[in-house]
Chains A and B, each alone.
Chain A
Amino acid sequence: MLSLDFLDDVRRMNKRQLYYQVLNFGMIVSSALMIWKGLMVITGSESPIVVVLSGSMEPAFHRGDLLFLTNRVEDPIRVGEIVVFRIEGREIPIVHRVLKIHEKQNGHIKFLTKGDNNAVDDRGLYKQGQHWLEKKDVVGRARGFYQENRSVENRNYLFLILEL
C-alpha cells in the first residue's frame, strides 16, 4: 500500500476547503483570461499582443519581438503603417507594412502589403486570385513593440516604445 503522505494535507480538508482550493485555481485562470479579454475589448483587436515570427521586417522588428495592436474603426489605415493581417484560410497572422491603398468614398479600402526585408510584395502570399487585402483581414495595427536587446555581453536590455 503506497504511503500517500504528500496527500495528507488534502485528506485533512473537508468538502468546503477542497472546493475553495479548486476555486482558487479557477480564479487564477479566470483572472488571466479576463485580463486578456479586457485587452481585446479595449483595443478592438482579436489578438492584442502578437509575437513576430519571421525576419521579414528587419531591421525594424526581429523574431521574438512582441507587438501591441489596436484595431479601432475610427483609425484609418494609411500607407507606411505596419499592420498584422490574416490571409483567408491561414491561421498564422503576418506582420508587414502597407504599400498601396485604394480607398472609396464610403471608406471601403483595398491595400497591398510588403515586408521590409522582402524583395517583392505580398501578392505571392495572398490566396489564389486575391490581389488586395481588405479591412476584414486585419487583426490590428502595430502601436508599440517590446524588444529584448541581444547584447554581446549577455545582458538584456528591455526597450518599450509606445507610440500613442
Chain B
Amino acid sequence: MAAAAAQGGRSGGSGGSSGAGGGSSCGTGVGRSGLLDKWKIDDKPVKIDKWDGSAVKNSLDDSAKKVLLEKYKYVENFGLIDGRLTICTISCFFAIVALIWDYMHPFPESKPVLALCVISYFVMMGILTIYTSYKEKSIFLVAHRKDPTGMDPDDIWQLSSSLKRFDDKYTLKLTFISGRTKQQREAEFTKSIAKFFDHSGTLVMDAYEPEISRLHDSLATERKIK
C-alpha cells in the first residue's frame, strides 16, 4: 500500500497540472464537499524546505502519526493536546476580559480587575510551561489500541521525537504501555534525516515507513512472548 502511494506520488507531479484543470470543472458541480476534498491534501507526497529544521521535524512527526493511525488502525487520543489548548484558551480569555473591561471602565476604576487578569494570565503561563515540560514532554501522538475481545483497558502507544537545532539526527521514540499489566516498554531509533528525504525535500515514505513498522513490531512481539 505504501509502495503504491509513492508511485502515485511520483507520477502525480506531472499529472498534477492536468488533474487541477479537471478539478475546477467538476468542483462547481459537486459543491461544498468537492471544495473540502480539494483543500485536503492527505494523499499528496509531503514536500518541505529541507533546510528548515522545524518543517522537517513536523513532516516526519506527521508521517509517523499517519503510519500508526492508518496502517495499524489505532485510535488517536487527543487528551494531551486538548489540555494544552484549554490552558492557552483560558489565558487568552483572561487577556480579552482585561481588554474589554478596561475599555468599558476607563483606567483608574478598572485597576483591581486589571491586576487580577494580569496575575491570572502570568499564572496560566507558568502552568502552561510546567505542563509542556513535564506532562507533555515531546510526545506528539497518543494512540489507543482497542482490545478486540472488549476487555478493559486499552493499550497505549506514545510517539515522541526530537531533532536538535542545526543537527541532522532525528530521534523517534515509541512507548508501549500495556493496558492490563501497566508495564511500559520503549524503543527508539536515531537516524540522519538525509535517509528519509530526497534532494528536492520530498519525504520518501518507502524509506521511512519500514523504520516505523520495525519499531512497532519490536514492541508488539515482545508482548506476545510474555
Contact = CB atoms under 8 A, between A and B. Distances in A.
Interface of A: 1, 3, 8-9, 11-12, 16, 19-20, 23-24, 26-27, 29-31, 33-34, 37-38, 40-41, 44, 46
Interface residues of B, number: 40
B120 to A, nearest CB: 9
B88 A27 contact: yes
Contacts of B68: none
Contact of A23 (B40, B92, B108, B118): B92
A34 B117 contact: yes
Contacts, number: 72
Contacts of A26: 88, 92, 95
B26 to A, nearest CB: 12
Contact of B85 (A1, A11, A20, A37): A20
Secondary structure at the A interface, as helix, strand, loop or mixed, is helix
A19 B99 CA distance: 21
Nearest to B81: A16
B41 A33 contact: no
B47 interface: yes
Nearest to B128: A27
Interface stretch (B17-25, B130-138, B159-167, B187-195): B17-25
A89 to B, nearest CB: 16
A44 B88 CA distance: 28
B81 A11 contact: no
